[in-house]
């Protein structure tokens, strides 16, 4: 019997290591690939674009918040991997009626490390999981990070503008690499106005590539509205993907800061 407690404190039991896994979260799909799983993963979301090979050949079971429950059931999985924030609770409860669901809840880098270790153990990939964790730790500790004077607004949506608050993984990444989130006094993903941004007087506005796909045209527009503020495009996956991509995130963020 294989047992595991997920990050919501829920215990799941499997008769053996899973051989029919469905992943409902892009960053965790990428992690499963990097753990060395392949045939064991039978279904992913339409947003699971990495690895590209899986995106083209694996069964798609809908979007992260619009899951095809019947298709998931028909695929007969022995494990579904979800996330508290990225998936809808009622849909997860529907899946739990016919399959064990391991749910992550990642707000900090230590949470991410714990998730990686747990999923590695649950899928019989503990050795590879340890290698990934060690690589993240090595990269994270490769440089001494000192707080900068850079005060940041990290935008994730447009119409309305949305940013990140204190209890988010993105905020923990900003803090880790010395950036001060000017909206860290708020929780989750607050809706803000352009006047709110002016009132906080940030040094930098970061435009994330996800979930809203900010482009150069948005950067140009905001530079006109905030001429005294640096406006940069940012690869959102490097700030918000809490799986094996963390191996590369630190180097990316340090390069981004060096542009300042």
Predicted local distance difference test score (pLDDT) of residue 186 = 87
Which DSSP helix (H) or strand (E) runs through 141?
A: none
Residues 97 and 193 in one domain: no
Alpha carbon distances (Å) from 39 to 58, 127, 135, 176: 9, 19, 25, 36
CATH at 27: 3.40.50.1980
Q: What is the pLDDT of residue 187?
A: 86
* Same domain flag for 118 and 168: no
User: At what angle are helices 246-258 and 126-140 packed, to 10 degrees?
Assistant: 20
pLDDT in tens, 40-85: 999 999 999 999 999 999 999 999 999 999 999 999 999 999 999 9
Do residues 172 and 232 both lie within one domain? yes
Are 132 and 34 a contacting pair, CB within 8 Å?
Answer: yes
Residue 128 lies in a domain: yes
What is the value of pTM for the model shown?
0.93
Average of per-residue pLDDT across 182-210: 95
**In terms of domains, do 195 and 66 share one?**
no
Radius of gyration of the chain measured on its C-alpha atoms: 19
Give mean pLDDT, residues 185-214: 95
- Is the domain of 157 the same as that of 134? no
Which range marks the domain in which residue 55 is found?
2-139
- Is position 202 within any domain? yes
DSSP H stretches of helix in the chain = 26-34, 52-57, 69-74, 89-96, 109-122, 126-140, 169-176, 194-200, 216-225, 236-240, 246-258
3-class secondary structure, 52: helix
Number of structural domains in the chain: 2
pLDDT at 154 over 70: yes
Report if residue 51 sits inside a domain.
yes
Residue at 145 is within a domain:
no
> How would residue 148 be classed by pLDDT, with cut points 50, 70 and 90?
low
116: in domain: yes
Q: Are residues 9 and 131 in the same domain?
A: yes
Is residue 112 within 8 A of residue 243, CB to CB? The reply is yes
Q: What tens digit of pLDDT does each residue of 73-125 get?
A: 999 999 999 999 999 999 999 999 999 999 999 999 999 999 999 999 999 99
131 and 156 in a common domain:
no
- 196 and 121 in one domain? no
Q: Cα–Cα distances in Å, from 3 out to 6, 36, 81, 128?
A: 10, 21, 14, 19
Same domain membership, residue 123 and residue 184: no
Give the pLDDT confidence score for residue 146 in this predicted structure. 64
Last residue of a domain, one of 95, 116, 139: 139
Q: Which of 115, 139, 163 is the last residue of a domain?
A: 139
**In the listed set 139, 174, 190, which residue is the last one of a domain according to the structure?**
139
User: What is the rounded distance in angstroms from the CA atom of residue 56 to the CA atom of residue 243?
Assistant: 21
Residue 106 near residue 7, CB atoms below 8 Å: yes
pLDDT band, residue 144 (cuts 50/70/90)? low
Pair 157, 211: CB distance under 8 Å: yes
Say if residue 155 is in the same domain as residue 77.
no
- Does 175 fall in a domain? yes
User: 146 in a domain, yes or no?
Assistant: no
């Amino acid at each position: 019997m294989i047992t595991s407690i997920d990050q919501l404190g829920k215990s799941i039991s499997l008769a053996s290591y899973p051989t029919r896994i469905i992943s409902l979260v892009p960053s965790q799909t990428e992690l499963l690939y990097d753990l060395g799983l392949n045939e064991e993963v039978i279904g992913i979301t339409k947003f699971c674009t990495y690895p590209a090979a899986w995106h083209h050949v694996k069964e798609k079971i809908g979007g992260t918040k619009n899951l095809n429950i019947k298709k998931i059931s028909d695929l007969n999985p022995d494990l579904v991997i979800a996330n508290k924030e990225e998936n809808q609770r009622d849909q997860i409860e529907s899946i739990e009626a016919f399959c064990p669901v391991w749910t992550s809840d990642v707000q900090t880098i230590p949470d991410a490390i714990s998730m990686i270790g747990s999923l590695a153990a649950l899928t019989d990939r503990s050795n590879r999981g340890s290698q990934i964790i060690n690589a993240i730790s090595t990269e994270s500790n490769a440089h001494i990070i000192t707080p900068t004077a850079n005060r940041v607004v990290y935008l994730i949506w447009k119409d309305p503008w949305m940013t990140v608050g204190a209890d988010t993984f993105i905020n923990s990444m900003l803090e880790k690499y010395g950036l001060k989130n000017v909206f860290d006094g708020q929780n989750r993903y607050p809706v803000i106005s352009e006047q709110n941004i002016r009132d906080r007087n940030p040094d930098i506005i970061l435009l994330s590539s996800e979930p809203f796909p900010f482009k150069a045209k948005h950067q140009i527009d905001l530079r006109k509205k905030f001429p005294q503020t640096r406006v940069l495009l940012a690869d959102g996956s490097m700030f918000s993907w809490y799986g094996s991509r963390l191996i590369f995130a630190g180097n990316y963020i340090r390069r981004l800061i060096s542009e300042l």
